[in-house]
Amino acid sequence: MNAKAVTLLENLVSLVILMLIVSGMVGVFIAGRKHTLHSRSVMTAGELGRYYLTPMQDLVRQDTWNSNCLGTKNGAACESDPLLSVLPVSPNDIAYTRAYQITDAPGSTDVRRVKVIISWNEPTE
């Protein structure tokens, strides 16, 4: 009997240990991929929020205050504003939707608070 030879049982045990390690690492890579996709979605939503809010900054003028979407409450005029209805192409093929909430700032009737809400459905890969 050769004492230096590796038996079938030793090979099977080492194979099981290797499979446990590899399966654990696959779980880590899958979780990392999901986290990366979620982070990209959040960054894209933030950029879209800035994209939609930027044209509204041009509307902040005292002489046109009551005739643009910032002069109304609940954003009724904003939804029909052609500047704000342009949808850029999403780089990650996720459909983003936007909504506005325009309210008076607390304690003032001349200051408006604009909240842009970007929502999307995460892909389930």
How many degrees, rounded to 5, is the angle at CA 45 between CA 43 and CA 50? 95
Between these two residues, 16 and 89, which has the higher pLDDT value? 16
When pLDDT is averaged across residues 22-43 and rounded to a whole number, the result is 91
Residue 22: closest CA among 125, 30, 8, 37? 30
Model confidence over 47-80: pLDDT tens digits? 888 887 877 777 676 566 666 666 665 555 555 5
Bridge partners, residue 112, by sequence: 104
Question: Given this model, what pLDDT does residue 84 score?
Answer: 53
Q: What is the number of structural domains in the chain?
A: 1
In a domain, 35, yes or no: yes
Q: Would 110 be classed as within a structural domain?
A: yes
Q: How far is CA 95 from CA 34, 40, 45, 59, 112, in A?
A: 18, 13, 10, 27, 29
Residue 98's nearest CA partner among 46, 37, 43 is: 46
pTM: 0.63
**Residue 2 within a domain:** no
Is position 84 within any domain? Answer: yes
HEC assignment per residue over 57-99: HCCCCHHHHHHCHHHCCCCCCHHHCCCCCCCCCCCCCCCEEEE
Residue-range definition of the domain harbouring residue 111: 8-120
In a domain? residue 125: no
Q: Give yes or no for a contact between 115 and 104, defined as CB atoms under 8 angstroms apart.
A: no
